[in-house]
Structure 1
Amino acid sequence: MEHYYLFVITTLLIALTPGADTVLVTKNTLFRGKGVGFKTVGGVCAGITIHIAIAVLGLSAIIANSVLLFTIIKYIGAAFLILMGIVTLFSKKPNLSSDTTTSEKTPIRSYFFQGMFSNVLNPKAIIFFMSFLPQFIVPEEHTLFQMIIIGITPVLITFIWLFFYVNLINYIRSWFNKPSFLSAFQRLTGLMLITLGMKLAFEKR
């Protein structure tokens, strides 16, 4: 593969850049613990895997070149983020001292789907993987092997970074077990998700 190290560095920088995925992982880990945080991370990585599979199968080009499909995905993704923001704003204020493993009523799998849909319903990711991945493929070499390596790399890098990040958030969450902080952070998180959703909705291709 050509310039694989550049691919790794670029993928790492993208993983470190805060976005909707980071906001969801932060919120779920801080309010519900690292178990829920890891479920959200699993969903994000599943979303990346789906994007890569779509890119490899060539469907990304079809979606990216279809104004209608691109717009539909964009608005669904925006609506999802806005809905998550509204739910976060008006949900019951959490208590970090409570036993979230027994008191949490939301099915644990829902946090996995939150992470997955947050990633999958981002149309910019479709464009990114469609245009970014092929730049590092050398046609003269084993194409399938290159696609597998390049496909696995973003998933592994994102997982490793978010695994570290979840543990960091879980470590410091006990420092912020104050109702005033939790209330302010919950409102901030909700507003951030709504803002990201509106930004996605009004963004041009």
Structure 2
Amino acid sequence: MPIDLWLVFVAVSLIPAISPGPAVMLAISNTLRFGRNATLASATGNAVGLVVIGYAVALGFGALMATSAVAFTVLKLIGAAYLIYLGIKVWRDKSGFHLQDGLPAARNSGWKLFLQAFLVSVTNPKAILVITALFPQFMRPDGIDLAEISILSFTYAALCFLNHATIAFAGAHMRRFLTSARRMRWVRRITGGLFVGFGTALATASR
């Protein structure tokens, strides 16, 4: 891929990469609950999920999602149910948002956080459709080039990872503001409510 075309791809990808969504909310939630390293683990899971989606699009799964109402509905309902489950869990998990002296609560295992973010990524049909719409504009029309799709997939995943890493490193500043139990209670409710809202919106979304 020519460097000038790749730079255009990076510029075009920045907006969807940093736009608020379930993955960004999960990064913020993990930063507040468990700290920087936990968010980096979940950011890695999200990035791997995006790479998987990129290769799936190259193999035709994205086209299936765009044309098959059944496939789209099944995946969106799975993704919606998982987001609603996460929202209820965050809303009820008082210990996860309890801070002492600005320190995060004891975090879940890195593997569990990685897997959680990976599932959020690959069960989001909107992410699949964004990649389906974006990637073909930068791919040669005469067939699949795995080197080309690798560059696009890893570039987009890296942009999303950098966005989540920025959230992770900003966590200390956020936690200093949220040392108040009352503020944390509202953060827990708002974060849980947003996850449920994303899940509900996803469940009712059309292609």
TM-score by length of 2: 0.89
Distance 2:20 2:104 in 1: 26
Aligned position for 1:65: 67
Distance 2:47 2:144 in 1: 25
Counterpart AA for 2:36: K
Q: Map 1:26-175 to 2 at 5 A.
A: 26-93=28-95, 94-97=97-100, 103-104=106-107, 106-139=108-141, 143-175=145-177
Aligned position for 1:200: 202
- Shift, 1:47, TM fit: 1.2
Alignment partner of 1:23 out of 22, 25, 37:
25
- Shift, 1:142, TM fit: 9.3
Distance 1:170 1:83 in 2: 27
Distance 1:142 1:91 in 2: 46
**1:149-171 superposed Cα distances (whole Å, 9 cap, x missing partner):** 21221011111222122101234
How many percent of aligned residue pairs carry the same amino acid? 28
Counterpart AA for 1:124: K
Of 1-10 and 178-187, deviating more is 1-10
How many residue pairs were aligned?
203
Contact 1:77–1:118 (CA under 8 A) maintained in structure 2: yes
TM-score by length of 1: 0.89
- Shift, 1:108, TM fit: 3.3
Structure 1 residue runs without a partner (length 5+): none
- Shift, 1:195, TM fit: 0.5
**1:65-107 superposed Cα distances (whole Å, 9 cap, x missing partner):** 2211110000000001111111111112432227757x44x43
Distance 2:75 2:50 in 1: 15
Distance 1:107 1:30 in 2: 16
> For the aligned residues, what is the CA RMSD?
2.2
Distance 1:141 1:156 in 2: 25
Distance 1:142 1:47 in 2: 20
Counterpart AA for 2:30: N
- Shift, 1:8, TM fit: 0.7
